[in-house]
Structures are given as structure tokens and as C-alpha cells.
Amino acid sequence: MKLLLIRHGQSEANAEGRLQGHLDSPLSERGRAQAQALARRLQGEGWQIAALYASDLRRAAETADILAAHLNRPVVHDARLREYDYGLLNGLTWPEIEALGDQIGLNLRLDAEWPDIPGAEGLEAFRARVAAALEDIRARHQDGDIAAIVAHGGSLSVLLSHLLGLPPRRLFPFRLSNASLSIVEFYARGPRLALLNDTCHLPSQLRE
């Protein structure tokens, strides 16, 4: 089995520099162009994708819809693939976060000790829901299948950590760009990371 991991295209909130979490922001015009470029790549390379799964948040769902139109596959939405819920911080800009004080913004920027964020999702609950979604997807497919997941930088980073057996020292150990493609291949001895954060399908004006 192969698993294609795709981060959504740029959202309007991305363009505004907002921490999104569960903020339900649509794709920006740039994000739609990024998704179209990725769709053309997958179609041109002849990927025979058996199923396309996506977070139900708009930025991921809209990206998946663009891919589905090129790949002729329906989209299965799963709320467990959503981004981490930052609670009070959902939708805030970095200056707004840093204005809250209490080391919250500094710790987030430095990836230091995870701050206590009012209303935020528990870290173990976040890891557990993403892992559960992944294992359900794997259970639906046979060895030769190719499946794609369209989700978020945080949820995909946690998913990769789970697959590769990385210790949970850092919540988001991978930095994934908008409309990036990562690929995990599964073998009898375990999964292998074949591609990480690839954006070669994006022209220079659409890259971060």
C-alpha cells in the first residue's frame, strides 16, 4: 500500500498570517491554483488512487474537491483528520497571540514546552484521533492500493510521527508546505517514508 499525504492549499487565513486550528477558512485564490497544480501532477504521473480522504474543514475539503475532479474519485470526509484545536488561539494572528502574554506565543514559536491554552484540545486526544483515522483508512485497503489523505500541517505531522514510530517529544516534528506531497510506502517490515514535503509541481510564484 502507498499513502499520499497532502497538505491543503493556502487558505485565506494562511494569507492573513492567522493560526488556524479549527477556524474554517476557505482556500485563497493562490491556494486554489496550488491545488490545481498538484492535481495536474497526480493526473500526469498516472497515479491510480483507490480512495481520497480529507478533513472536513473547508481548506482541506476544497483542496480534495479539486483533486477529485481530476482523479475521478469521490472524497470521503473525516473530522478526525482536522487540525489541532488551539482553543482560544484559533484564528488569531501572531501579534494577537503574543499580546496575550504568559509565554504562550513564545513557547509556540520556539516549539518549547507546550503551553496551557484555554479551550485547546488535549495533546494525547489529538494524537489518538488522528491515529484512529489513519488505522481505519489502512484497514479499508489491500496491499497494492494507493490512498490519499488531504489534511493539515499539524495533523499530517502527527500522522507521520505515528507511522514512523517517532517519540512524542515534539507535537509537530515536520514542517509541511501548502499543497505539498509526502508519500509513505508500506512493506512487511514496516512503513518507509519515500517522499517528504515535495512541491516540485508548484511554479516559483506559488511556493512559500
Among candidate residues 62, 83, 152, 201, the one labeled active-site is 83
Question: What pLDDT is recorded for position 178?
Answer: 99
Select the CATH number that applies to the domain covering 2-85+121-206 from these four: 3.40.109.10, 2.60.40.1120, 3.20.20.80, 3.40.50.1240: 3.40.50.1240
Confidence of residue 172 (pLDDT cuts 50, 70, 90): confident
Tell me the chain's radius of gyration from C-alpha atoms: 17
Question: What pLDDT is recorded for position 131?
Answer: 97
Active site annotation includes 152 = no
pLDDT at 186 over 80: yes
**Residue range 96-143, pLDDT digits in tens:** 888 877 666 656 665 555 777 889 999 899 999 999 999 999 999 999
Question: What pLDDT is recorded for position 109?
Answer: 60
Confidence of residue 171 (pLDDT cuts 50, 70, 90): confident
Active site annotation includes 162 = no
Which of 36-40, 60-64, 65-69, 120-124 bottoms out in mean pLDDT, i.e. has the lowest?
120-124
* Structural domain spans, the chain: 2-85+121-206
Note the pTM of the prediction, 2 decimals.
0.94
Across 182-191, average pLDDT = 95
Question: What pLDDT is recorded for position 91?
Answer: 96
How high does pLDDT run on average in the chain?
A: 93
More confident residue, 106 or 8: 8
